[in-house]
Amino acid sequence: MRFEIVTIFPGFFAGIFEHGIVRRAQADGLVSVGIHDLRNFTHDRHRTVDDRPFGGGEGMVLKPEPLAEALASLGIQPKNTPPPEDATGARTQVILLSAQGQPFIQPLARELACLDRVVLLCGRYEGVDERINELYCDMELSIGDYVLSGGELAAAVVVDAVMRLVPGVLGNQASGEFESFGAADAEISTDIEGVPRSQHGSGGLLDYPHYTRPVEFDGLRTPEVLLSGDHLGIRRWRREQQLRKTLRNRPDLLAKADLSAEDVRLIEAIRRENRR
């Protein structure tokens, strides 16, 4: 899988993808990342990428022409252009990072991981001329309800979250299906053509707490059940912890979670316990 990032700050990405799983995935040839300097697609002495907004107002806007040229250099034409004769059929999506975008959530990361190529456009200033969005972008993505000063951090978040779900990247960890947000059926508002919705997941709950050596740290002991070798007991404990943590930190997730009758009974018990 290939990621292409279009940015006015290519230096931002120096080193950011050179650690841990992300570095290994590239070294193993499972994924690659191309960084493209938007200023290379300008033609004036000052390498101008921005201009004042029509209608007045604060700030500057990224001009459409350099972005369109950058996309053309990646073989991407406006969406309404018929595909060229020699089109490879590779599945590409163009994504505009934007605070106005749909939320970037794990099911969407899972869908993007099935593509051949993801192109990420990083906005700056007040954002990107809207015609780039209309003509080229398959979706606008927001990484959260706050405003960043540029799309670069958001692009790095998307690359990291998607990359680790590419088959083979997590090795024998079966594509993170038992991690937080491993929901089977969380709804997303985008349907990517030709990409199956994932059928697996941790039931839409947050992950359980993890412990490692030493058994006791600063007066706190690892829960006995995890040391017991009782696999059924461990599974039960972990499920209960998932329910407790989700109830405490993200109760909104419970409405969509895949809950058994036993889970529902436990949630009621935890709620009663919390009321006491």
Kindly list the residues in this chain that would bind ligand SAM in the complex (CB under 6 A): 97-100, 122-124, 126-128, 142-144, 146-151, 154
Least distance in angstroms from the C-beta of 121 to ligand SAM? 7
Residue 136 buriedness (CB in 10 A; 0-12 / 13-18 / 19+): buried
Beta strands in 8-77 (DSSP E): 32-37, 50-51, 61-62
Q: Which is closer to ligand SAM, CB of 151 or CB of 204?
A: 151
Torsion-angle region of 29 (φ positive above 0: left; ψ -120 to 50: alpha; else: beta): left
Radius of gyration of the chain (CA): 22
Torsion-angle region of 57 (φ positive above 0: left; ψ -120 to 50: alpha; else: beta): left
Q: Which is closer to ligand SAM, CB of 33 or CB of 243?
A: 33
Q: Which two tokens stand for residue 61?
A: 């806007």
Q: Which is closer to ligand SAM, CB of 128 or CB of 183?
A: 128
Q: Which is closer to ligand SAM, CB of 122 or CB of 169?
A: 122
> By C-alpha distance, which of 5, 125, 137, 120 is closest to 57?
125
Least distance in angstroms from the C-beta of 156 to ligand SAM? 11
Least distance in angstroms from the C-beta of 215 to ligand SAM? 42
Q: Which is closer to ligand SAM, CB of 9 or CB of 178?
A: 9
**200: how many CB neighbours lie within 10 A of its CB?**
13
* Residue of closest CB approach to ligand SAM: 123
Least distance in angstroms from the C-beta of 158 to ligand SAM? 9
Pairing status of strand 92-103 against strand 61-62: unpaired
